[in-house]
Amino acid sequence: MLDDDSLAACLRDVGLDRWPQQLKPMLRERLSDAAHGDFRQWRETIERLPRLADRRADLASDVVAVGVDRLGDAESQALKLQLLGLSPWRKGPFDVCGVRIDAEWRSDLKWRRLSGKIAPLDGRNVLDVGCGNGYYAMRMRGQGARNVIGIDPTILYVMQFLAVRHFMDDRSIHVLPLRLHELPGGARVFDTAFSMGVLYHQRAPIDHLRQLKDTLRPGGQLVLETIILPGEEALARTPAERYARMRNVWLLPTIAELLVWLNRTGYRDAAIVDVSLTTINEQRTTEWMSFDSLAEALAPDDPTQTVEGWPAPRRVIVTATAP
């Protein structure tokens, strides 16, 4: 499923000459029919996608658009059904040959909140950790990033990325089915590392911050987005069972505590880029993600609280510099 040659060329350009051979066995295992019960269906869906002569893409707009050619009504409906077969789509929006993928998250809104407030991406090598289906990775490339390597352990999201990239010629963006700790060590080469919506899923958030630092060149920039608790005190709390109906939320800090974590892990020049309350206009149920979403996670009589009684999701975007 992966384009081995273009991935190897991309990694070499980043300065990771040994990674192709080191990662190949793991990537082959995870992108195989034996890896997931639905993998063969997903693979066959991608193999049946129409092939276009014009594979230009617009990665600089709110809606990531690929496939300039517009299809006839019957072909367009068939393509939509194929892409719906890769649901749920969590991040977007995308336009694929005129088929609009209205994902659960209006990811363009988060991108607007950080765009222009981080170090310019032009010419930079970027790592996107927990990248999902690659929406943000494509926006990074659209802002001039030289190479973007995204990693995410969810195989379906990797398949969604491959479906979208099927209609593109750009081979400087890759999404790999990996976790951060599985990357080969000893390579501080990336100019920018993104971790958005990942930290609160980590049992050991301090380790996550250290691992991110170990991917960045000295002076490289971390762009971190995570859920926070309100308050001025430096503290963090762990939900007893669920937060906003999510089981895999382990530790929620205040901004003051998050800045302590960044300082203790060696980052410098930490700066708050944005703080915003997540709304049901930004995260919601759609045709492309038909399950419960944020509305069902908020208390029906008080949307400032989750159904468990925690403060509703408030997110911060922070930048910091690696030593």
The pLDDT tens digits for 225-243 are 999 999 999 999 999 999 9
Average pLDDT over residues 302-315: 98
- 272 pLDDT higher than 80: yes
For range 26-49, the mean pLDDT: 97
**pLDDT score of 313:** 98
Statement: residue 251 has pLDDT above 80: yes
Percent of the chain's residues with pLDDT above 90: 95
**Domains identified in the chain and CATH numbers:** 4-321 (3.40.50.150)
Write down the pLDDT at residue 3: 85
Can you give the pLDDT at residue 128?
98
Q: How confident is the model at residue 319 (pLDDT cuts 50, 70, 90)?
A: very high
* Cα–Cα distance for residue pair 85/186, rounded to 1 Å: 39
Which tokens belong to 140?
A: 């990074």
Pairing of β 314-321 and β 302-306? unpaired
pLDDT tens digits along 49-79? 999 888 899 999 999 999 977 789 999 999 9
Q: Residue 54: what pLDDT?
A: 86
Cα distance between residue 99 and residue 323, in whole Å = 44
Token pair for 11 = 């990694």
Which of the four pLDDT bands, split at 50, 70 and 90, describes residue 203?
very high
**The pLDDT of residue 89 is above 90:** yes
Q: What is the mean pLDDT of the chain?
A: 97
Q: Is the pLDDT of residue 187 over 90?
A: no
CA distance 254 to 227: 9
What is the average per-residue pLDDT within 8-32?
A: 96
pLDDT digits (tens, 9 = 90+) for 94-115: 999 999 999 999 999 999 999 9
Region 186-193 average pLDDT:
94
Predicted model pTM: 0.97
Buried b (16+ CB within 10 A) or exposed e, 81-104: ebbbebbbbbbbbbbbbebebebb
> Which residue in this structure is represented by tokens 């989750």?
306
Question: pLDDT confidence of 2, banded at 50, 70, 90?
Answer: confident
Beta strands in 142-186 (DSSP E): 147-151, 173-176
pLDDT digits (tens, 9 = 90+) for 119-144: 999 999 999 999 999 999 999 999 99
Beta bridge partners of 320: 222
183 has a pLDDT exceeding 90: yes
